[in-house]
């Protein structure tokens, strides 16, 4: 009989301790979610150049490669020329229908933003500033005769 009381007392004390003594520290407040930058607007874009197309396949006309940057922000462009000709990466002003052939000497006023021309087999990186107006811009290589085979799109996100 006495052992039963001891046992009940033990259970009651255990329950009391579990309820009161086992108090966990208050939950730490979680940080408020931070507004994320647009998922695919990059501060760095990689551009591979071949004779005569951007990217991995000579299908720029049907399937132009797309690079995405944030409006008005500086971005790094890494250019890698894997071809035997010189190439560049040039975004044209909005609404421009690129003439064929595109002749840099005659059509320079259509250019919005351009990289340096990369000699065959070389790489370079430079910093450009994205257009301030969101939208889609046609990108071409302005070396005479490379457009329309060599083209892409620059998407500028707000």
Which residues are at the interface with Cu ion (CB under 5 A)?
Answer: 87, 141, 143, 146, 150
Instruction: Find the residue with minimal CB distance to Cu ion.
Output: 141
Q: How far apart (Å, rounded) are the C-alpha atoms in residues 2 and 145?
A: 103
* CB neighbour list of residue 138: distance below 8 Å, 6 or more residues apart: 91, 92, 96, 98, 151, 153, 154
How near is the Cβ of 67 to Cu ion at its closest, in Å? 16
When the beta carbons of 131 and 152 are compared against Cu ion, the nearer one is 152
How near is the Cβ of 51 to Cu ion at its closest, in Å? 7
How near is the Cβ of 117 to Cu ion at its closest, in Å? 9
When the beta carbons of 68 and 115 are compared against Cu ion, the nearer one is 115
- Which residue's entry shows tokens 């052939």? 101
């Amino acid at each position: 009989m006495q052992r039963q009381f001891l046992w009940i007392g033990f259970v009651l004390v255990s329950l009391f301790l579990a309820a009161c003594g086992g108090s966990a520290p208050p939950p730490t407040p979680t940080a408020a979610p931070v507004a994320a930058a647009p998922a695919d607007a990059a501060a760095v874009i990689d551009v591979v150049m071949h004779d005569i197309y951007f990217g991995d396949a000579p299908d720029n006309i049907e399937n132009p490669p797309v690079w995405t940057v944030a409006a008005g922000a500086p971005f790094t462009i890494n250019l890698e020329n894997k071809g035997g000709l010189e190439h560049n990466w040039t975004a044209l002003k909005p609404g421009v229908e690129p003439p064929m052939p595109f002749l840099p000497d005659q059509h320079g006023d259509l250019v919005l933003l351009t990289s340096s021309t990369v000699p065959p087999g070389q790489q370079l990186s430079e910093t450009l500033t994205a257009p301030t107006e969101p939208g889609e811009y046609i990108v071409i290589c302005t070396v005479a005769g490379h457009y329309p085979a060599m083209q892409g799109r620059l998407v500028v996100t707000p």
